[in-house]
């Protein structure tokens, strides 16, 4: 044929017939640079394909007045965003002190040391009320329930921003540094530690979607794409 190979019509070409050039010999420096740039673009796109989502179940009580929904790292000089959908399996009768609180990592050790719910919430960066709306009788999909079981369903949606660095000073009046910072998102009901109405606190499920500024991953995962580039390129 035109390549100078004497190939029989029924002869299958093998690697002994044609010597394929390797990437090293055929790809110039500019070619490798283009490949690296392509991988870098991919590293930017791939990690941002979806927001971080956390889901779970909460049941508050006098012994456990708060529950952590998610921990999330926000980049320096950024504004994080959280969107939480709460579903209550039955009416939450006393919502007056039912809140979502957001804590910065500077205060978190003190939050963990505090014994009373009222002490913990005083350290929060934000306090957001939780108000449920009735959605009707729906299938009860909790584990252990029958397919025919139904429950009164109530939902509440909370959307808010998280400024990093947060406003205000930390203990001893020190300025907050502009750095990557973890924030902790909790729901709590401090009335449960004062009044014996645990039996009136229903199961609550949550679906939380969090954004790190314009990014979709927490700051502690931001370098994964670049490490992938280095691995593939070298």
Structure tokens at 134: 């009735």
Q: How are strands ordered across the β-sheet holding 150-164?
A: 52-58, 204-211, 78-89, 150-164, 133-139
Model confidence pLDDT, tens digit, residues 96-136? 999 999 999 999 999 999 999 999 999 999 999 999 999 99
Domain ranges of the chain: 1-50+221-234, 51-215
Model confidence pLDDT, tens digit, residues 3-53? 444 444 434 434 444 344 444 445 566 666 666 665 555 444 444 434 688
Select the more confidently predicted residue: 234 or 13.
234
Q: Supply the angle between the helices 29-45 and 224-233 in degrees, to the nearest 10.
A: 150
């Amino acid at each position: 044929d035109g390549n100078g190979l004497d190939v029989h019509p029924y002869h299958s070409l093998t690697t002994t017939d044609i010597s394929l050039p390797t990437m090293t010999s055929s790809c110039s420096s500019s070619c490798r640079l283009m490949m690296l740039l392509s991988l870098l673009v991919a590293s930017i796109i791939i990690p941002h394909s979806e927001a971080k989502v956390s889901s779970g179940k909460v049941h508050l009580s006098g012994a456990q007045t708060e529950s952590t929904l998610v921990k999330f790292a926000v980049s320096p000089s950024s504004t994080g965003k959280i969107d939480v959908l709460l579903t209550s399996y039955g009416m939450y009768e006393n919502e007056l002190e039912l809140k979502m609180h957001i804590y910065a990592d500077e205060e978190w050790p003190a939050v963990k040391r505090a014994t009373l719910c009222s002490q913990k919430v005083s350290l929060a960066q934000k306090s957001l009320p939780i108000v449920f709306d009735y959605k009707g009788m729906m299938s009860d999909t909790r584990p252990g329930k029958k397919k025919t079981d139904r429950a009164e369903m109530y939902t509440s949606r909370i959307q808010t921003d998280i400024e990093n660095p947060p406003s205000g000073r930390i203990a001893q009046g020190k300025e907050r540094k502009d750095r990557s910072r973890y924030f902790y998102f909790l729901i709590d009901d401090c009335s449960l530690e004062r009044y014996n109405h645990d039996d009136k606190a229903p199961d609550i499920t949550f679906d939380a979607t969090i954004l790190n500024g314009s990014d979709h991953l927490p700051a502690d995962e931001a370098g994964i794409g670049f490490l992938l580039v280095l691995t593939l390129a070298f």
